[in-house]
Chains A and B, each alone.
Chain A
Amino acid sequence: MNEISQKDQAILARIGVNEVEKRDRRRQKRDFGVALLFMSPALLMVCGLLLAPVFYNVYLSFTNWRKFTGLDELIGFANYERMLGNPFFGEALTNTAIWVVASIVFPIAVGLGLALFLRDVRFSNTFKNIIFIPRILAPTAVGVLWFYVYAPQGLLNRGLSAVSGQQVDIGWLYQDNTVTPAIIATFVWQTVGLVMVLILLGLAAIPKDPVEAAQIDGASRFQTFRHVVLPLLTPTLLVVTILSVLAGFTVFDLLWVMGASYPGQRSLSLAVYMYFEAFQKGSWAYGSAVAVIIGLVVLSVTWVQAALQQRVDRMVR
């Protein structure tokens, strides 16, 4: 045993494997230095301006920082406890939950519906482009446009008056029960085009054979869709759902622009509520705590997506 290894070592030394290994290690060290040099601008910017603030934000949420005092005064979970009793927080949470449900249901229902419907229509590309157009505008510009569509003397009320024959005078963006649905409608109008395009890509990637086999076996169009197309489309639908949930959960621009005249603007969503508490009231620590809650929800949605993705990948394979 010993003899062999000695012999081996001799051979290895003769062909210079040790040298090669050493050179390799040296080269790896040198390469790492060079790579670090190449990565350092990106690392510095991301760590300094994105990751460090996140950690600092978590720290702040445990302090008593308000206006100009209390930055170094740790108060544990008091900021989080304060949320529980706050009616504005409760309303903001409810509205955010409505946004999450709506951004699961509507983009999928409308996007899938439009994708299936517009796929085989004549001039299908023209129609698809029309549905996609709102997506190119900035959310701020879309918010401004729809702000006037919903205005008391605006397009929607005038249109409803003309159709119904009587004066319609709804303050869409001023009333508690209409403001969130109205803004959600605008959100769907703007974002469903991309959802549709993604679903169309998913549909195009579905192999023809199983669909044709089902048709030959006498399956109806609905049966084919339900039992062949839909299961194959699930991965796409999953990605699309998660994307729209994250977008709907953190939406700010539309609420900021369209909710400007609504008296309860601060409770339109957690994102707006956090802005009000920190930047208008000066409750910095409390605002940080709200931001942490938003972060926790986003991270758990991302985590659920990763888990589901793995399961779907395994199913497809």
Chain B
Amino acid sequence: MAVNLELLDYDAIARRESEKRYGKWWTLAGAVLVALVWLVPFYYLAVSVFKTQTEYASGLPLALPNSLTPIIGNAVEAWTRAKMDIGMLNSAFYGVVGAGVAVLFAAMASFGLTRLNFRGKDMWFMIIFAGTIFPFQMYLIPLFFAYQKVGILNTHLGMLLFYIAICIPFPTLVLKNFMNGLSREMDEAARMDGANEFTVFWRIVLPNAWGPVTATFLLQFTWIWNDLLFSTVLGNRAETRSVMNSLQVFQGSYSSSGPNLVLTAALLASIPSIFLFFVLRKHFMEGMKVSAL
């Protein structure tokens, strides 16, 4: 049976194929509508930070700003009034040191749990992992009380100690699973050559686990950066406040002085996590997946 190629309606075939692949045009329209609804708050944020206070109060919330320059004044004012410099420095310190030390401790524990031979490994792991099963509310009162007794309430040290502890269990789970899959031949070779266990950990296992180590570090850093609850309870002084706590305090005390200033502060506080997300997107997505499953 010969097909007369000239009688075929190529446009119709292409259209049918494309519809089969992507659905009708109205599905695209629906998706655009959903996306617009999702983005409106962001658009509102974006135009608000470019407005002066009078402009914000008098105009429509979604109107475009008259000029782009007010953002500089807004940023400076929000930065100084919300004491963002101290908040940012504190959070960066808590995040980098806290998550760094926590992931190091977690890696050491995982090394012990996977590369050495002893009984009752599951029990030891469960003790560490038990740190994730209780809700945060159960830590607050005893910690507040104990910190007060020891004298580390509202200090950088106290905040840091807690952040290290809370960031240990989850990386231990991830790194233990990862190290279980690493080949043990290199360890044995190094041991034959007279390396001690710490050298094996530091020179051989840790460099091989670099991928999950960075992924868990980033996740824990973001957790600490975003934390509001523990900063409110354990470090609620101007000198020790985290950036999110500063933001919340600023919103509470300056709600009369113009939403655009508070929104600018919210944007400033979010820049590091947005930046990290886009720069390290792949790591992050992997981290999110492991954190959820």
Contacts and interface: CB of A to CB of B under 8 A. Distances in A.
Interface of A: 27-28, 31-32, 34-39, 41-43, 45-54, 56-57, 60, 114, 117-118, 120-124, 126-127, 130-131, 133-134, 136-141, 144-149, 151, 154-155, 158-159, 189, 194, 197-198, 201, 239-240, 243, 249-250, 252-253, 256-257, 260-261, 270-271, 274-275, 278-279, 284, 287-288, 290-292, 294-295, 298-299, 302
A253 B229 contact: yes
Interface string B136-173: 11111111111000000000000001101110110010
A113 B157 CA distance: 46
Contact of B144 (A123, A139, A149, A279): A279
A288 B139 CA distance: 9
B62 interface: yes
A114 B34 contact: yes
Contacts of B197: 34, 38
Contacts, number: 266
Contacts of A279: 140, 144, 233
17 contacts: A38-B197, A42-B105, A42-B168, A43-B124, A45-B161, A49-B143, A50-B169, A57-B139, A121-B31, A136-B270, A137-B270, A138-B225, A140-B247, A141-B270, A154-B259, A271-B135, A298-B133
Given A42-B168, A46-B127, A122-B22, A32 B134 contact: no
A221 to B, nearest CB: 11
Contacts of A145: 41, 44-45, 263, 266
A250 B228 CA distance: 13
A199 B108 CA distance: 34
Contacts of A243: 292
Nearest to A45: B165
Nearest to A186: B41
Given A137-B273, A253-B229, A50 B139 contact: yes
Nearest to A274: B137
B112 interface: yes
A46 B165 contact: yes
Given A130-B35, A256-B228, 18 more contacts: A28-B118, A35-B112, A38-B109, A38-B112, A39-B109, A42-B105, A42-B109, A50-B165, A53-B138, A130-B39, A138-B273, A141-B269, A145-B45, A197-B288, A249-B135, A287-B141, A288-B141, A299-B133
A155 B62 contact: yes
Contacts of B60: 158
Contact of B111 (A28, A38, A134, A290): A38
Nearest to B43: A155
B228 A127 contact: no
Nearest to B223: A138
A284 B134 CA distance: 19
B67 interface: no
A121 B22 contact: yes
B27 A250 contact: no
A88 B139 CA distance: 22
A140 B228 contact: yes
Contact of A250 (B124, B135, B143): B135
B277 interface: yes
Given A121-B23, A148-B259, A45 B31 contact: no
Nearest to B242: A140
